[in-house]
Amino acid sequence: MKKILLPNGLNVSEVALGAMMFGSTTSKKESYEVLDTYMDMGGNFIDTSNNYAHWAGTGDESETLLGEWLTERGCRDRVILATKVGFDRHGQGAGLKKEQIEYWIDESLRKLKTDYIDLYYAHTDDTNTPIEETMEAFDRLVKKGKVRTLGSSNFDTWRLAEANMTAENNGWTPYTVMQQRLSYLNPKFAEAPKYAYNEVVNRERLRFLCDKNMPLVSYACLCKGAYEDPARLPNEYEGGTRLEFIRNMAAEKGVNPSALVVAWLTNLHRCKGFPRVIPLFSATPEQLKQNLRGLELLLSDEELALMNEIK
């Protein structure tokens, strides 16, 4: 797996591994197998949160398991580690107030058994807290060496722009990565998202990221396995022509449809108006191997243009 040097200085693999369910619905043994397979295939970009997966446990499971795995494997220096703060976990922790940011970074560091986080996300916007308070608190973590870089997830574009303008005006650390939903299928924009700001990326947001040279980490990019099994299609996406097209094209190329989605996402930056996109997903070891075959596909400019034109 090739590495990408991001504008913020992080050198990450083309695909990020999601650890959301590790230690809860995915057992320790299974989680270790996925992590080991991913690293063996050249991956180094691992994503978790301080609340994963609180709906299936306490919300400490993912970070705790990763901390154990990093220690047992002795590979912390070979991993770009991302975690998050801001979402609720059993009625506590929601928000981006100074005291919340300071408390939860220390909890994350303790569970992950490390003294720094490579990429720390604001997991969702907090409009009840002044942007100045949030950005100053995050900047303080960077200056203390607890965090290397910052990212935003589940933010409106204009709020991200305001936050970064505030950071620039005060000499604070800005957000340099956006994490948001993006997949090949067309979204149903009339459908309200589950949470206020976790909408699927639209073209305006992609043009903004391209203009700002800010990479997009696309979560839920494989639509819960719907490319292989259309019955799994999430309600917020349309199937129809695009799903049929990607399945047929994948069959012609001898890969599973998810692999072709990975190929499309990792090549989008070659098209005008698109930023660098890093797919983020989890899978079984065998599924991971199949999906990562997409990194070996050579999509021509004509194929990319055709894929983008399908309605």
Identify the bridge partners of residue 11 per DSSP, sorted by sequence position: 5
- For tokens 């459908």, the residue is 191
Environment class of residue 268 by beta-carbon count within 10 Å: exposed (0-12), middle (13-18) or buried (19+)?
buried
Residue owning tokens 């149903």:
188
**Distance (Å, rounded) from C-alpha 258 to C-alpha 156?**
28
Pair of tokens at residue 171: 């000499």
Residue 301 is encoded by which pair of tokens?
């400019």
Residue type for position 256: N
Catalytic residue among 38, 52, 121, 184: 52
Q: Name the pairing type of β-strands 117-122 and 16-18.
A: unpaired
The Cα-based distances of 153 to 97, 180, 237, 304 in angstroms read 16, 6, 20, 27
Q: How far is CA 265 from CA 163, 190, 216, in A?
A: 27, 24, 10
> Is 184 designated active site?
no
Q: Which stretches within 113-182 are classed as H helix? A: 131-144, 157-170
E strand segments, the chain = 3-5, 11-13, 16-18, 45-47, 80-85, 117-122, 147-153, 175-181, 216-219, 277-281
* CA neighbor of 130 nearest in space, from 95, 104, 106: 95
Task: Kindly list the catalytic residues.
Answer: 52
